Copies of this chain bind each other. A is one copy, B any other.
Amino acid sequence: MSSFSIANRLLPSRMRGVLFRHRPEDIWVSSKIPVPKLNEFIPPGTEASASASDRAIIWVKYAGVNRADIMQRDMKYPPPAHACDRLGLEVSGELVALGNETPDALVPPVGSDVMALVDGGAYAEFVSVCANHVLPIPRFRDLENDDQKFQLAAAIPEAYTTAYQLVRKLANVQPDDRVLVLAASSSVGLAAIELCRKLCKCETVVGVCSNSKVAYPAAAGATTVVGYLPEEAYRKYMETQYNSFFSVILDCVGGSSFNLLQKVASVDARWVMYGSLGTVRLASRVSIAPMLEKRITIMWTTLRSRSDAYKTELVRDMYAEVAPLFSLGVLSHPRIDSSYNLEDVALAHDKMRANQNAGKMVLKVRDYLVF
A residues engaging B (CB < 8 A)?
254-255, 258, 273-276, 280-289, 291-302, 305-306
Check B289–A276 contact: CB distance below 8 A.
yes
Partner of A280, one of B281, B289, B306: B289
A-B contact pairs, 18 of them (CB 8 A): A254-B288, A254-B292, A258-B288, A273-B288, A275-B292, A276-B289, A280-B292, A281-B288, A282-B285, A282-B286, A283-B285, A284-B284, A284-B285, A291-B300, A293-B302, A295-B299, A296-B300, A297-B299
B residues in contact with A284, CB < 8 Å: 284-285
Give chain B nearest CB distance to A277 CB in angstroms: 11
A287 touching B292 in the complex, CB below 8 Å, given contacts A297-B300, A298-B297, A298-B298: no
A300 to B306, CA, bound (A): 25
Q: How many copies does the complex hold?
A: 2
A287 to B278, CA, bound (A): 12
Give chain B nearest CB distance to A248 CB in angstroms: 15
A255 to B292, CA, bound (A): 11
B residues in contact with A276, CB < 8 Å: 288-289, 292
A258 to B276, CA, bound (A): 18
A255 to B289, CA, bound (A): 9
A294 to B300, CA, bound (A): 8
Check B282–A282 contact: CB distance below 8 A.
yes
B residues in contact with A305, CB < 8 Å: 293, 295
B residues in contact with A275, CB < 8 Å: 292
